[in-house]
Amino acid sequence: MNTHSWLIIAAATTAIVSAQGNTSIWDGVYSEAQAGRGKKLYITHCASCHQEGLQGADLAPALKGEDFNLRWIDHSMQEMVERVATTMPQDAPNSLKPQETVDIVAYMLQVNRFPPGSAELSTEAAALKTIVFAKAK
């Protein structure tokens, strides 16, 4: 996909987000402190499969980069958080506390260069549903 295609997708996503009153991940939906906690949790619970640099390995997909971003575009943050919560870690799904899960997701957002904000990513499903994963703004 070329840059022009991304700009069209970004414009369409921004229009959808604005019309629905939703927030984009480009609006700073996590805090730096939260991402810091998430990094420690990621190393403990995720790095053995997804690698310390989030590049993935074997059957564990990368959690950064264009393929990762394409997989989630136009999905809500609730969908991502729910996926992590219910399927990870692979050897113990549903074992992370809700705060641990959103902290790890905040770290993933930081590594993917989505900007931090002043507030933390919420654990509340209703709030997470209003955040749309968008490639570019």
**Are β-strands 23-24 and 131-132 bridged in parallel, bridged antiparallel, or unpaired?**
parallel
75-100 pLDDT, tens digit per residue, is 999 999 999 999 999 999 999 999 99
Give the model's pLDDT for residue 134: 83
In 18-51, which positions are buried (b, 16+ CB within 10 angstroms) versus exposed (e)? eeeebbbbbeebbbeebbebbbebbeebbeebbe
Which residue numbers in the chain have pLDDT < 70? 1-21, 135, 137
The predicted model scores a pTM of: 0.83
The domains of the chain are located at 28-129
Q: Which residues contact 25 (CB under 8 A, 6 or more apart)?
A: 77, 109, 114, 131, 132, 133, 134
Among 3.40.430.10, 1.10.760.10, 3.30.2130.10, 3.40.50.720, name the CATH number for the domain at 28-129: 1.10.760.10
Give the model's pLDDT for residue 105: 98
Q: How far is CA 48 from the centre of its chain?
A: 19
